[in-house]
Structure 1
Amino acid sequence: MGLIVISLIMGILISYKGLLAENLYSFTDKLTLVGLFLLLFTMGVKIGGDPEVVSNLKTLGFKAIVLSLGSVLGSVILLFLFEFKFKRED
């Protein structure tokens, strides 16, 4: 976990200090997207290969849907609240 946080902080500092060439920013977007797809694919492989998860998929699926919808709904509500607050200050 520490390596993940350190990597993130290093990326933020490199970008903040302007140490990355401007033409590389479009490449980082593509690299991030590829990394995200690779992460989702490997998570799917891991989940599909675990017989306990597959056998409990109905129960876990319902919980996952509830958690996902709650996360999305909470994010949208917070976004509207922050947008309302900052629009009033402008």
Structure 2
Amino acid sequence: MQPLILALLIGLLCGRLLKGSSLIKLIPAVVLVSVALLLLIMGAKIGGNPEVISSLPRLGGKALTFAILSIAGGILLTLPLQRRNNT
């Protein structure tokens, strides 16, 4: 956990030092590439685990159910607020 906090603090320092610099415009592209690389590596690690691959149908069903219920819950909780703001 400490390396993660240290990385965050170094990033904050870099952001402060680069403020106003033209390099700051590159950060969104660097973040996008970094996240894509992270997902690629995680996918390769998961794909190489036969136990996870064999349980994918069961896990996929649970994930789909969780996603649908989360979206439905968000919509149901948002509707009363939206109606209240429209009146």
Give distance in 2, aligned partners of 1:47 and 1:63.
17
Aligned partner of 1:3 in structure 2 is: 3
Aligned twin of 2:35: 36
CA distance in 1, matches of 2:62, 2:25: 37
Flag structure 1 segments of 5+ consecutive residues without an equivalent: 85-90
Following superposition, the deviation at residue 41 of structure 1 comes to: 0.5
Q: CA RMSD in A?
A: 2.5
1 CA distance for matches of 2:65 and 2:9?
A: 32
5 and 66 in structure 1: CA distance in 2 versus 1, 3 angstrom threshold: farther
Give the length in aligned residue pairs: 74
| Higher Cα Rg, which structure | 2
**Percent identity (aligned):** 38
Instruction: Tell me which amino acid in the other structure corresponds to 1:19.
Output: L
Note if 1:19 corresponds to 2:7: no
User: Would the alpha carbon gap of residues 2 and 62 (structure 1) be closer, same or farther in structure 2, given more than 3 Å must change?
Assistant: farther
Structure 1 residues 67 and 24, CA gap change in structure 2 (3 angstroms): farther
Q: Which residue of 2 aligns with 1:87?
A: none
TM-score (ref. length: structure 2): 0.67
Q: Which amino acid aligns with 2:17?
A: L
- CA separation in 2, counterparts of 1:22 and 1:59? 49
Structure 2 alignment gaps of length 5 or more = 83-87
